[in-house]
Structure 1
Amino acid sequence: NRLPNEVKAALPGVPWEDIRDIRILVDHVYHRIDYDALWQTLHDDVPDLLDQLEGWET
């Protein structure tokens, strides 16, 4: 929620709402996390996210 809208607009392919939802889940509902699904997200989706963010400057 603290990420400026300009940043979100500059990187429209990034799933900002999904990232926020995962953070909320890990922070507040950690006792109900599906760790296999979380690991799969980290393994499959984070590398693509890093590729999208690479080279981006403020």
Structure 2
Amino acid sequence: MNDNDEKTILRIIHYCDKIDSHIDYFGDDRELFLENEHYQDACALVIIQIGEFVGRLSDEFINEHSEIPWTDIKSMRNIHAHNYDNVMFDTLWVTIKRDVPELRDFLQKLI
């Protein structure tokens, strides 16, 4: 792993941790999430940031770790950044509760 990838991974982990902070702040409740636009917006912004940083990872790193759905992560970023009216917040909830922690755990093992 090169230095830029390592720095990028640390930023992604930071944003994964921010999701936990938002869940702690707003509450670990799906219905509350689906009803609270501030909660949704806070988490969507973090997903955008994670996608931005994934886009900065080297092709070599991406290819070495193909078990992670990097393209899906970037696609989620694009949906939230450019097509917000069509965001499915049920999907975002699953992402922040399941996928983000899995991504963080995977990346932490590499550092």
TM range, normalised to the smaller chain?
0.7 to 0.9
Query: TM-score, normalization: structure 2?
Result: 0.46
Deviations 1:1-50 (A, max 9, x none): 44210110232211101001000000000111011211111101111111
Match of 1:35 in 2: 89
Q: RMSD between aligned alpha carbons? A: 1.4
Match of 1:19 in 2: 73
Instruction: Determine which structure has more spread, i.e. the larger CA radius of gyration.
Output: 2
- Aligned equivalents of 1:27, 1:11: Cα separation in 2: 25
- Aligned equivalents of 1:56, 1:11: Cα separation in 2: 10
Structure 2 spans left out of the alignment, 5+ residues: 1-54
Alignment partner of 1:12: what SS?
A: coil
Q: Give 4+ residue runs of structure 1 displaced > 2 Å after superposition.
A: none
- Give the counterpart letter for 2:97 in structure 1: H
Match of 2:105 in 1: 51
**Same amino acid, percent of matched pairs:** 35
Which structure's relative contact order is higher, taking Cα pairs within 8 Å and 6+ residues apart? 1
Alignment partner of 1:45: what SS?
A: helix
